[in-house]
Chain A
Amino acid sequence: MSEDKTKNKAVKKENNKKYWQFFWRSWAIQASWNYERQMNLGFLYGIAPTLNRIYKDPKDIDKKKAAYKRHLAFYNCTPQTSSFVLGLSASMEEQLAKNPDDFDPESISAVKSSLMGPLSGIGDSFFQGTVKVLAFGLGINFAQKGNILGPILALLICLVPAWLVTWYGAKWGYTAGNQFLTKLNSEGAMDRVMFIAGVVGLMVIGSMVASMIPLTTPLHMGTTFKLQSTLNTIMPKLIPVGLTMFMYWLIQKKVNTGWILAICIIGGILASVLGILKA
């Protein structure tokens, strides 16, 4: 009995260490924010300790490389709510390492993509909308009277919800992952989870393509013909989806990443100079 207790305590301590890791690393997720894949390296940094732990054995190096590369994919989520995705992904990685035969690694990427959209939508509007306006509205009132409490209060009001959401996000993400995934996996229901995550993930990416690539064309002839209006009558957001499909095609053709990046940057500048595209 007492042995069980000490064991439980040790597990609890170990889990707490993991939660803190997810916590701080979720906050640090934007340190290498880049246009191409945004917070992907931040997510890799967050999950790296988990991967290092499960693939400690030198003979697992190929699995470790595959896992590291899996988390290089595009990722973008509010840092505070991202801890949930990080905790869940970490527990999925652990499951995968335990049952490599009947756990599809792609389900991890699918779950990540399906969660980042809704969690950043809710997270951004809560933290950058509600909390910020409330905190600084109050802060301004104090500051205008020359009271130092203004900025201090504003910071505290922002800190408390951010702290709570990140901490419980990490904890719930990890424990939910552990409890439900084991159950689902043993019941052979992972296919269904994969399917649901795939549908949600793809629809979210589709929506992101339509809302996060602000490109239009300024091409026109005289004042009557504007190409963008004509395109809009065919289908709005034709340029963003066309570009994405073009990039997809380049990837399928196995074009070198360096070339694609060069096409994006030089092509973007040229298209702007020639008056074809505008952001």
Chain B
Amino acid sequence: MLYKAIILGIIGIIVVLDSRLFGRLNVEQPLIASTLVGIALGDITKGLMVGATLELISLGLVNVGAAAPPDMALGSIIAAAFSILSGASAQTALTIAIPIAVLGQLLAIVLRMGMSSFNVLAKRYINEGKFKSATNLHILWGSTLYAVSYFVPIFVSIYFGTGLVKQVVEVIPKWLTNGLTVASAVLPAYGFALLLSTMLSKKMAPYFFIGFLITAYANISVTGIALFAILIAILLDQIIYKKDNSSSSDGGGDSLDSL
């Protein structure tokens, strides 16, 4: 079991690094993850079958009784492993996998929150002239911590069984889970504020609020706002810089057109 737990943990690492290091090539999708599990456990056909079922759930093409787990990538590795090891159906295995996916989701929130402290560290390293240490926070420590956050829950649940994971999840109080979720939604507000503090001026402030108000009231997506914004900016540019254009015979108007 130790050997199987390690191999499945490594598949977990491959799956999480797909979106961390390879721009999400969809290796993390249940069909691929489950096939990898099937290969590792020596039952490719079962891996494919389970993968197809889980993929249908994940793409939202099929609704099952149980809700899809919050972290489908992690959940599908566990579910595929249980289904192959115990012969349970894919749906049953997915239900068993839900507590592990919940734990994984919680770990992910804590991790992404903890990594906010990397920003403080990175600034300190840069001030000290340790540029390599600053970029290592990202490529070395970031990837490692993400890899660990997938390896551990998978290893534990395969090696010790899901019972233990279920107990751990039951010990975590509901208020903490909810609290962390709220805190994780508050943090981006700080990120946006930081961005604004470099860009906002009295003259430019209305544009921020125009963008905000349109989305708040009319629910238009960020892409939609960007398209409107480009047009508004071009119109304003024509109004504001009109004088310059007429004074200098063939001004920068053409160069902007070619952009």
Interface residues of A (CB under 8 A from B): 26-38, 40-42, 44-45, 48, 52, 61, 64-65, 68-69, 72-74, 79-80, 106, 109-110, 113-114, 117-118, 120-122, 125, 127-128, 132-133, 135-137, 139-140, 143-144, 146-148, 150-151, 154-155, 158-159, 162, 166, 180, 183-184, 187-189, 192-193, 195-196, 198-215, 235-237, 240-241, 243-248, 250-252, 257-258, 260-261, 264-273, 277-279
Assess the B182–A279 pair: CB atoms within 8 A: yes
Assess the A74–B234 pair: CB atoms within 8 A: no
Query: Which of B48, B137, B216, B258 sits near A143, CB closer than 8 Å?
Result: B48
Stretch touching chain A among B73-81, B94-102, B161-169, B192-200: B192-200
Assess the B182–A269 pair: CB atoms within 8 A: yes
Assess the A204–B118 pair: CB atoms within 8 A: no
Digit string of B63-88 for contact with A (CB within 8 Å is 1, else 0)? 00000000000000000000000000
Bound Cα distance from A162 to B223, whole angstroms: 20
Assess the A135–B59 pair: CB atoms within 8 A: no
Asked, given contacts A72-B122, A200-B229, A269-B182, whether A146 binds B45 with beta carbons under 8 Å apart, the answer is yes
Closest 10 interchain pairs by CB? A206-B211, A268-B183, A121-B223, A32-B142, A203-B211, A269-B179, A79-B23, A189-B252, A247-B193, A206-B212
In this assembly, does B2 line the interface, its C-beta being within 8 Å of a C-beta of chain A?
no
Q: Name the prevailing secondary structure of the A interface residues.
A: helix
- Contact residues of B between 90 and 126, Cβ < 8 Å to A: 112-120, 122-123, 126
Asked, given contacts A204-B222, A206-B210, whether A30 binds B20 with beta carbons under 8 Å apart, the answer is yes
Bound Cα distance from A125 to B222, whole angstroms: 12
User: How many residues of chain B get a CB closer than 8 Å to chain A's CBs?
Assistant: 109
Query: Which of A34, A44, A52, A136 sits near B55, CB closer than 8 Å?
Result: A136
Bound Cα distance from A195 to B141, whole angstroms: 38
In this assembly, does B139 line the interface, its C-beta being within 8 Å of a C-beta of chain A?
yes
A sample of 16 inter-chain contacts (CB < 8 A) reads A31-B138, A34-B112, A35-B188, A37-B116, A52-B131, A72-B126, A74-B191, A133-B59, A136-B26, A187-B251, A199-B233, A203-B207, A206-B208, A206-B209, A215-B182, A257-B123
Asked, given contacts A132-B26, A206-B207, A272-B178, whether A180 binds B258 with beta carbons under 8 Å apart, the answer is yes
